[in-house]
Amino acid sequence: MSTTLDSPVATSVAVDSIASASQSPRRAVRGAIHWEYMVPITLVHGLACLALLPWCFSWSGLALALIGTNVFGTLGINLCYHRLLAHRSLTVPLWLERTFATIAVCSMEDTPARWVATHRLHHMHSDETDDPHSPRDGIVWSHAGWLFRRAPGRRTLTFLEKYARDILSDSYYRFLERRPTTVLYIYLLHAMAFALLGLLVGRLSGGDWPHGVQLSVSWLVWGVYLRTVLVWHITWSVNSLTHVFGYRSYATGEDSRNNLLVALWAMGEGWHNNHHHDPASASVQHKWWELDVTYYIILLLERVGLATDVIRPRHVRHAR
């Protein structure tokens, strides 16, 4: 694979030194701040706080935040990054896969290859020393703290080739890895689209440009910044809360748990013990009441012919 990637990839992925690949991915340079994550995460959280200002509120902005959390989080992160790319639990047409991946990029949770590689590392060493975000190092660490500490071993081409070779084989994902700032540009462009659309809708519905500006800001704050923060914390809660609180249906050799609240706000991802028991499955619903909205969307895609090779839960596969 390394022969297919030119020097920009090595520059962007291995900037922290190839030699550090032998270090523990979690423990490497724990004292060094990862500013590339710290700055945007802090900035977006600050911008999301503008939602507390009455002038920034609109009912349509609130609707965009709620709907967007499900669209960008469920389709982008849950379905695409997690079940489609990380676990290959289903197959969709390439154009649809890349569309979902771009939606995921709009949540600014890193490039597809880095997200997938980190998640696969988590499964391989769950709640062990090399787990990048185990609550055994503290729940704050597992929720978000691990993002702010440099781990050079996870920034190398060697790491990505080991855990996400199949992702890098795709030209679009390889392009994003060669030019990781493209993720930021995509995020800014989609934010600009929300702002411009809000400006036009506000102008047409309110009759003047000041009304358009107010709606534009509302859509930007609620529909983009606050929604991004909500998706982040929903994703992070799967890393943290579902390894601390909840019940266990299976002895999986690590601390994963099924957490009802996380499952509700993460559209099924909170049935985490079920997932660790059978990570290949496109579904994490093992009991009738363990609702998995993400899987229902996958079944809908399968029904209309847009999803194939959908892997059923192990107990269903074995019953056939």
Instruction: Of 164, 167, 143, give the one whose Cα is nearest residue 155.
Output: 164
Please give the C-alpha separations between residue 119 and each of 36, 139, 158, 181, in angstroms, as whole numbers: 19, 17, 16, 21
Q: What is the pTM of this model?
A: 0.90
List the beta bridge partners of residue 149.
33
Residue 315: alpha-carbon gap to chain centroid: 27
> Which range, of 17-21, 171-175, 272-276, averages the lowest pLDDT?
17-21
Evaluate whether 224 touches 244 at the Cβ level (below 8 Å): no
pLDDT at 1 over 60: no
Give percent of the chain with pLDDT exceeding 90. 83
Question: What per-residue string of b and e applies to 89-100 under the rule 16 or more CB within 10 Å gives b?
Answer: bbebeeeebbeb
Is 200 within 8 Å of 212 (Cβ atoms)? yes
CA distance linking residue 81 with residue 73, whole number of Å: 10
- Judged on CB neighbours under 10 Å (0-12, 13-18, 19+), 5 is middle
**CA–CA distance, 84 with 102 (Å, rounded to integer):** 13
Confidence grade of residue 6 (pLDDT, cut at 50, 70, 90):
very low
Nearest to 79 by CA among 95, 103, 63: 103
Q: Show the tokens assigned to 195.
A: 């702002």
320: pLDDT confidence band, cut at 50, 70 and 90? Answer: low
Give CA separation, 301 vs 6, 101, 222, in Å. 36, 16, 29
Token duo for residue 87: 């676990």
pLDDT at 20: 38
Q: Is the pLDDT of residue 76 over 90?
A: yes
Check pLDDT > 50 for residue 7: no
The token duo for 128 is 């062990």
d(CA 222, CA 227): 6
Please state, in angstroms and rounded to a whole number, the distance separating the CA atoms of residues 113 and 101: 11
At 199-224, the pLDDT tens digits run 999 999 988 999 999 999 999 999 99
Residues 6+ apart with CB under 8 A from 128: 134, 254
Taking only the tens place, the pLDDT of each residue in 127-157 is 999 999 999 999 999 999 999 999 888 888 8
| Mean pLDDT on 180-202 | 96
In the structure encoding, which two tokens stand for residue 169, read together?
A: 């084989």
Q: Is it the case that residue 318 has pLDDT exceeding 80?
A: no
Q: What is the pLDDT of residues 22-68, one digit of tens each?
A: 344 444 445 699 999 999 999 999 999 999 999 999 999 999 999 99
For tokens 């009304």, name the residue.
211
**Whole-number pLDDT of residue 31:** 63
Q: Residues for the chain: how many in total? A: 320
Say how far apart CA 270 and CA 197 lie, in whole Å.
34
